[in-house]
Amino acid sequence: MTVDRDDPRLGSTVHGKYEITSLVGRGGMGAVYRATHRELGEPVAIKFLHPMFASTAELRERFRREAVALARLRHRCIVSLLDYGEDAGEHYMVLELVSGRPLSDVLGDGPLSLPFVTAVFDQLLEVLEVAHEADIVHRDIKPSNVMIVGADHVKLLDFGLVQLPIASLEKLTDVGVVHGTPDYMAPEQCEGKETTPATDIYSVGVMLYECLAGKTPFDGRGAAQLMAAHLFLEPPSMESRGAQAELPRALEDLVHRALSKLPDARPRAGAFRRELAAIFRGTDPRSLAEGAARERARGAALSRSERAVTGVTAADGAPRADGATTPASSRVHIRITDAGRATELQTALAVA
């Protein structure tokens, strides 16, 4: 909570009903305040669109589109929309006030337990399944937009970049424009192409990788290098990025499928959720680690031809049966048809 006694909104009333008491925080598009319903005494959050953006029709529509998405998606893991409107020229939405910590802060505390990770991603994938069934794509899934309430309850925040069904309202001119947070953006998002539910799944895959390994799959000095990595590089094994414990091969495979360059190859939210639950169901972390270690030892002992037959591969950077090492992230996928854009992104990647 932030106190700024020079803020003209503090102490004011919105639409005659909500008395603003304090500033919660500011973002790129506006600010969020804590307020109290004057008649009911209930605390709420009020999100205002910045006046500078309110003068632009497309940004006003984007703000309204966020409210439309929240109104349609009633779910325990989504912050509830309570009201929406305009007062004294200011565009606002009234939201459920949530007290918790963003997952980005929780990640800063150190390694996460497997039960916690399982609980968080089960809820996140559940709510995305509901959204995707309604043809709603979030487009900005990242740890700072996942609030942890209590021990492990999830609230998905910030539908400011949401994509709604075309039939529901006039489509904004998004094709060819890049939206999102580079660390978590899908390849098609990096190219400014049309986004789909699979775009959210890729972002979930990056987040799950980060929660298990302690860092995201790719490093980069700036947005261009990060987007180039999403476009051209295969993610290294989580173990090579610092995973704290041996992970089940099935989990590694699931995360890598979610991070496929091809949207159609990624699992849907419901299938992703079920597979993740099946991997951990009834299995304690110690036995998971022991089983994963046995799988890796077996893979390392197989000859190259045996691995080809069984589908077992050596970990990136790990010694192979022939004495060589498997290079981490050596394969490159180029999906840009514009040669100029491809060259620009390859150059950015080369200096990473």
> What are the catalytic residues?
140
The H helix count followed by the E strand count for the chain is 12, 9
Strand partners, 48: 31, 92
Here the tokens at position 44 are 């709420």
Helix (H, G, I), strand (E, B) or coil at 340: helix
Are 45 and 28 contacting, i.e. CB atoms less than 8 angstroms apart?
A: no
Helix (H, G, I), strand (E, B) or coil at 278: helix
Here the tokens at position 203 are 């972002």
Strand partners, 102: 147
- Please state, in angstroms and rounded to a whole number, the distance separating the CA atoms of residues 209 and 259: 9
Are 24 and 33 contacting, i.e. CB atoms less than 8 angstroms apart?
A: yes
Are 14 and 35 contacting, i.e. CB atoms less than 8 angstroms apart?
A: yes
- Please state, in angstroms and rounded to a whole number, the distance separating the CA atoms of residues 323 and 314: 12
- Please state, in angstroms and rounded to a whole number, the distance separating the CA atoms of residues 266 and 27: 31
Buried b (16+ CB within 10 A) or exposed e, 117-151: bbbbbbbbbbbbbbbbeeebbbbbbbbebbbbeee
- Please state, in angstroms and rounded to a whole number, the distance separating the CA atoms of residues 217 and 230: 9
Residue 43 neighbours by CB under 8 Å, 6+ apart: 34, 35, 36, 37, 97
Are 120 and 152 contacting, i.e. CB atoms less than 8 angstroms apart?
A: yes
